[in-house]
Copies of this chain bind each other. A is one copy, B any other.
């Protein structure tokens, strides 16, 4: 059984997508075809979309689900005429919020992903540049500027996590790969010692690590299961000995790893 789901917005559509996907994830037996339509910001585009929704209804033989975060009342009403099952996010919640807050909504389009707060936005972009400049132990002299230093074996997920933390939360995260040499004296690497309170460790199942490493360097010693097991074991031992907070990333997405790090470290969100 196939159903079409539309995510519609007069802005980027990111909120409609996020909410729509969250709700659809609860119905895993249904095969949804997802269509995102951002920047529906005039009646012509709205009317074209109505035609498209009605066409999907004909093809599927069932009403498409329509998740919208459109702010403008006229455009929302135009889309409401389609043969869709409307999940009207702003229509449902804005009016009760206006009543509760005793103010009118400004009905301004596309605010949530715009640069509404210049300095917060700049902080996010600076955090991205910081993550890139301080990737892979490249420049340890900037560690004093870091909000967080992620450590872990090569390919345990440090870099994507640092980038996500920067883009989503404006957190300046450096990362330092723990190598075999670092593990020889069973201590925290010298470069990290002055910044111990900022360190968070990642670990990963050795089997998963070997799979990931094999994609980079197939059949190398680096990617062998034996080597991966050894590194992971030593690294986890070091985390415990040094009392470094850490998590196993194997089953988690970057979004989940990042959120858990934010919770665990109590870092403030800069956005």
Contact = CB atoms under 8 A, between A and B. Distances in A.
Nearest to A92: B92
A202 to B, nearest CB: 14
A184 interface: no
Contacts of A124: 254
Nearest to A39: B263
B23 A18 contact: no
Given A21-B112, A92-B92, A167-B160, A259 B38 contact: yes
Interface in A1-34: 3, 11-15, 18-19, 21-23, 25-30
B107 A14 contact: no
A252 to B, nearest CB: 7
A114 B25 CA distance: 10
Contact of A128 (B38, B112, B160): B160
B38 A263 contact: yes
A13 B259 contact: yes
Contacts of A242: none
A19 B167 contact: no
Contacts of A255: 12, 14, 113
Contact of A100 (B65, B100, B160, B253): B65
Interface string A106-136: 1110111111100001001100110010010
A87 interface: yes
Nearest to A105: B26
A111 B63 contact: no
Given A18-B15, A39-B263, A87-B93, A253 B121 contact: yes
A87 B164 CA distance: 27
Contacts of A110: 256
A14 B103 contact: no
A13 B256 CA distance: 10
B159 A112 contact: no
A156 interface: no
A89 interface: yes
A199 interface: no
Contact of A103 (B29, B85, B259, B269): B29
Nearest to A125: B160
Interface in A33-75: 36, 38-39, 63, 65, 69, 71
A21 to B, nearest CB: 5
Nearest to A97: B23
Contact of A15 (B19, B97, B113): B19
